[in-house]
């Protein structure tokens, strides 16, 4: 990196940001709480999707104190549809840490910020620079992509010399143009122009960009070898009472989909994704073991459910989590008793409820669960 190159980057991008930066609701006089909420929401989620959720969130939980006082159910309810529910849990837990340990005021120190649940190095940099006006970098995947292309940084950007070069460059440019401006400018350039498929003809940095000048835009940043996802087949049971309510269960808070309502599910198998005969084995395995699996589980919850015989349906839902490709094979069983006679307890779930389809749709549920509920009319 030369000083000229960093100066060109900082000044050019700052001017571009003044003219073309995005007007986002969390950028109007941001507080640390607003930056934190918006950054958590923006992880893995597009800006256009986040905006209405952010506005609703701020209307319901305008301060960190109001969030700390809320129930996790209310928090999850507001988050429903955004996916990656762990983020909502982090916000809820982190709010208690801010209230209990910092008297409701976020610390401005980067290492203190990282003691709060849900705040890593990037989010700490974003809070410190946007809300406290500090000249510190905030390096996320967008920043890594922009800087590695502009400066020609090869290799794995997460550690070693490539990491040090990314951090040195980011540190240098925040000193020139200011943390709040340059971090947001990099963020916007990465989100709108220097995307994975870059639109270099619109880029203000084009004349000095290493990747553009050397025909390496698609080659940088270099990709890390990814370990394959897990492939998981589960069976879900739609157990319907005579008064048209369905048994739903809530996984424990530290489990996948914790604190959200799901239909009772059992794992058929889980392995690395490259298994080509998985679908066939899942079908065979479900056919052979479904009745035994469900009867064992249901009799633990309520003896009246011992004789339930689930029927297989053709409904199969696929949902991709960060590390898991999950296939849900949906079974159904109709009961002759009303829900009020079928209270359930025990088993691997935290709690159970009998809800109508409409009640399920307005309860805290994951995107995966919503896919199943929306397709219920095909099989009920
Ligand atoms: S010229 Fe292209 S590759 Fe270089 S920073 Fe701009 S958009 Fe990214």
- Out of 13, 200, 207, 219, give the residue to mutate to test ligand 1, the one with the largest number of ligand atoms within 8 Å of its CB: 200
Q: Is the C-beta atom of 198 inside 6 A of ligand 1?
A: yes
Task: Report the C-alpha dihedral over residues 263, 269, 274, 275, rounded to 10 degrees.
Answer: -120
Lowest mean pLDDT among 187-196, 231-240, 305-314: 305-314
Catalytic residues: 39
Q: What is the pLDDT of residue 362?
A: 86
Confidence of residue 293 (pLDDT cuts 50, 70, 90): confident
Beta carbons within 8 Å of 355's beta carbon, 6+ residues apart:
245, 246, 248, 261, 363
Q: Is the pLDDT of residue 274 over 80?
A: no
Q: What is the pLDDT of residue 38?
A: 97
Helix (H, G, I), strand (E, B) or coil at 153: coil
What is the pTM for the complete model shown? Answer: 0.77
- Nearest atom within ligand 1 for CA of residue 206: 1
Confidence of residue 246 (pLDDT cuts 50, 70, 90): very high
Question: For 128, which DSSP code?
Answer: I
Task: Tell me how far the alpha carbon of residue 287 lies from the centroid of ligand 1, in angstroms.
Answer: 54
Q: Is the pLDDT of residue 273 over 80?
A: no
Query: What average pLDDT does the chain have?
Result: 91
Per-residue pLDDT tens digits for 164-186? 999 999 999 999 999 999 999 99
Contact 305, 298 (CB under 8 A): yes
What are the chain's domains? 3-213 (1.10.340.30), 230-378 (3.90.79.10)
Lowest mean pLDDT among 129-143, 270-284, 310-324: 270-284
Q: Report the distance separating Cα 174 and Cα 181, nearest Å.
A: 8
Q: Report the distance separating Cα 124 and Cα 114, nearest Å.
A: 6
Confidence of residue 285 (pLDDT cuts 50, 70, 90): low
Per-residue pLDDT tens digits for 81-94? 888 888 999 999 99
Task: Tell me how far the alpha carbon of residue 279 lies from the centroid of ligand 1, in angstroms.
Answer: 43
């Amino acid at each position: 990196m030369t000083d000229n190159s960093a100066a060109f980057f900082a000044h050019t991008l700052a001017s571009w940001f003044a003219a073309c930066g995005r007007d986002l609701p969390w950028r109007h006089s941001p507080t640390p709480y607003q930056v934190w909420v918006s950054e958590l929401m923006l992880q893995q989620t597009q800006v256009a999707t986040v905006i209405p959720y952010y506005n609703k969130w701020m209307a319901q939980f305008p301060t960190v104190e109001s969030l700390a006082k809320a129930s996790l159910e209310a928090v999850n309810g507001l988050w429903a549809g955004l996916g990656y529910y762990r983020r909502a849990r982090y916000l809820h837990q982190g709010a208690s840490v801010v209230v209990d340990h910092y008297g409701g005021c976020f610390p401005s120190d980067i290492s203190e910020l990282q003691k709060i649940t849900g705040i890593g190095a990037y989010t700490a940099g974003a809070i410190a620079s946007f809300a406290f006006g500090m000249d510190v970098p905030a390096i996320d995947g967008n920043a890594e992509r922009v800087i590695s292309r502009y400066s020609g940084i090869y290799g794995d950007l997460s550690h070693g010399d490539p990491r040090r070069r990314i951090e040195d460059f980011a540190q240098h440019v925040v000193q020139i143009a200011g943390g709040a401006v340059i971090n947001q400018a990099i963020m916007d350039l990465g989100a709108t122009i220097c995307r994975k498929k870059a639109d270099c003809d619109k880029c203000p940095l084009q004349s000095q960009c290493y990747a553009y000048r050397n025909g390496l835009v698609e080659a940088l940043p270099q990709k890390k070898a990814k370990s394959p996802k897990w492939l998981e087949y589960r069976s879900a049971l739609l157990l319907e009472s005579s008064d048209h309510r369905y048994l739903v269960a809530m996984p424990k808070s530290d489990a996948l989909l914790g604190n959200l309502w799901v239909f009772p599910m059992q794992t058929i198998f889980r392995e690395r994704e490259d298994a080509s005969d998985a679908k066939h084995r899942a079908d065979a395995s479900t056919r052979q073991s479904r009745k035994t699996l469900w009867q064992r589980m249901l009799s633990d919850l309520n003896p009246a459910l011992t004789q339930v015989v689930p029927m297989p349906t053709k409904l199969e839902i696929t949902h991709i989590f960060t590390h898991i490709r999950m296939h849900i094979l949906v079974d159904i069983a109709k009961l002759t008793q009303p829900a009020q006679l079928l209270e359930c307890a025990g088993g691997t779930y935290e709690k159970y409820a009998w809800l109508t389809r409409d009640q399920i749709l307005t309860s805290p549920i994951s995107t995966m669960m919503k896919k199943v509920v929306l397709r219920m009319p095909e099989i009920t």
